[in-house]
Every structure is written in C-alpha cells, then in structure tokens.
Structure 1
Amino acid sequence: MKTLFVSYRVTDLDHSLAFYTALGYAELGRVRAADAGHLVILHFPDEPAASLELVHRPAEGPVDVGTGFDHLAIQVDTLAATLERLAEAGLAPGPIKHPGGPEGPKTAWLTDPDGYRIELVEWPPESPDGITAETFS
C-alpha cells in the first residue's frame, strides 16, 4: 500500500488554486462530480503522480479546519530561496526556524486561504530525504 494524495475541502476554489499554484503545485486535471463536488488534482512538477486534491463543495458552506487536521509538510531544496519566491508571489510565509537545533532541519510555516497550515522543510545536506526508520535509530 501507499498514500496516493491528501485531499482538502476548500471554500473558494479559484483563490485556493491560485495559492497552491504560487506555492509550486501544477494542475494535473479536474473532475466535476455532482456528489463529490468539483475536484482539482495537483502535483509538484517533479512528482510523477498526484499529491494534493482540492475539493470544492459550495453547498456545504465555508470550510472549518478545526476538525483535528494539523498540517501538511512539504520538503523544499532551499528554504530561503523558497520563502523569497513565495513572498514575491504575494504569499506570507513565516520566518525560518531550527526546531532540531542549528544542525537540524530548517522550517517555516505558511497558511492557505482556508486556514490549513503548511510546514516547509529543508533537510540538512547529510540527511536522507524525508523521515525514515533510520531517523529514529
């Protein structure tokens, strides 16, 4: 088994799509399904398959993100350059932090139009990509 993608319900599809496109996602396709709403499937250009789905169901009203979801973590190559690009695109990322100390990963936070939190992470050069079993040994 493997995780296919994360799916977010969004209040304003155009506004959210503009946000995620500025973040770096690209649109793979759209599905209009009466019961499921309007779906936009996204991925990062270097990803071979979908990694995020935006679901728009206008009849359900505004999104309430206070249901237990915490955040989406996205790995970036160079956090400082990413933050600069996002600021130039009109987004408002937070400052760089070092939650594991100066030799650990660098992180910064961003919030999407519906209030979903996004953690941007730059791993140290000597670390493997992502969190693996090796991380905990």
Structure 2
Amino acid sequence: MKTILFAYRVSDLERSLAFYRAVGYTELGTVPFDDGGKLVWLKLSGETSVSLELVHRPAAGPVEPGGFEHLAIEVESLTTTIDRLTTADLHPGLPEHPGGPEGPATSWLVDPDGYRIELVEWPPGGPPTVGD
C-alpha cells in the first residue's frame, strides 16, 4: 500500500491554484461536480502522479480548516525555495532547525485558506529511515 494523495477543500479555486502553481505544482486534470463545484488534481515536478487534490464546493458553505496539522514538502534547497516563494509574494517563514544544526532545515508557509505547509531540506544523508 501507499498514500496516493491528500485533498484540501478550498474557498476560491483560482486563488488556490495560483498559490500552488507558485509553490511548484502543475495541473493534471479537473473533475466537474453536478453542483457547479469541481476538483483539480496537481503534482510536483519530481512526482509521477497526482499528489494534491483541490476541492472547490461553494454550495457546501465556508471552508474551515481544522483537525489537520500540516503538509510537508521536501525541497532540494530551502534557501532557493524561500527566495523563489518570497519573489512570488507567498511569505514563507525564516529557516528553522527544529532538530538542531545537524537536522533538517525547515520553513513554514500558509495557503490562502489557512492550511500550513512545512518546507523541508534534509541534511546530507537524507531523511531518517525505518530502524533509525
């Protein structure tokens, strides 16, 4: 088994698509709903299939994120990513080292609906593996 994707319900589909395009996602397809809403499948350049689904259902009422902690995205260079996102006016946070200087470097970003995204640059040797 493997995780295929996760889905966010969004209040303004075009605003969210602009945000996630600036992060680095590309669109793979759209599925319309009978109620006028739709969902859009997205993926990052290093992924082979859909990994994010944006669901827009205006008839379902306001979007209220909750009970979800965050999404984490691995980046090759946190500094380069922060610079690119800052240029795109997305306001990433300053780099942090929550595991100490030998651990991963991270930065936080918040999407237009309030979902938190953790950007992670692993130290040399990569992420911990099972048994570490």
TM-score w.r.t. the length of structure 1 is 0.92
Mapped partners of 1:45, 1:86: distance in 2? 16
Aligned length in residues: 132
Q: Structure 1 stretch 78-87 or stretch 34-43: which is displaced more?
A: 34-43
In structure 2, stretches of 5+ residues that fail to align are: none
Establish whether residue 30 from structure 1 lines up as the match of residue 30 from structure 2. yes
Mapped partners of 1:127, 1:45: distance in 2? 19
Equivalence for 1:93? 92
Amino acid at match of 2:105: K
Mapped partners of 1:2, 1:119: distance in 2? 21
In structure 1, stretches of 5+ residues that fail to align are: none
Equivalence for 1:133? 130
CA gap of 1:59–1:69, structure 2 versus 1, over 3 A, is same
Mapped partners of 2:24, 2:5: distance in 1? 16
Query: How much does 1:132 deviate?
Result: 2.7
Query: How much does 1:36 deviate?
Result: 9.2
TM-score w.r.t. the length of structure 2 is 0.95
Q: Structure 1 stretch 28-37 or stretch 96-105: which is displaced more?
A: 28-37
SS of aligned partner of 2:119: strand
Mapped partners of 2:24, 2:55: distance in 1? 18
Mapped partners of 2:69, 2:36: distance in 1? 23
Equivalence for 2:9? 9
Query: How much does 1:34 deviate?
Result: 1.8
Equivalence for 2:64? 64
Query: How much does 1:7 deviate?
Result: 0.5
SS of aligned partner of 1:48: coil
Indicate conservation of the 8 Å contact 2:71/2:116, yes or no.
yes
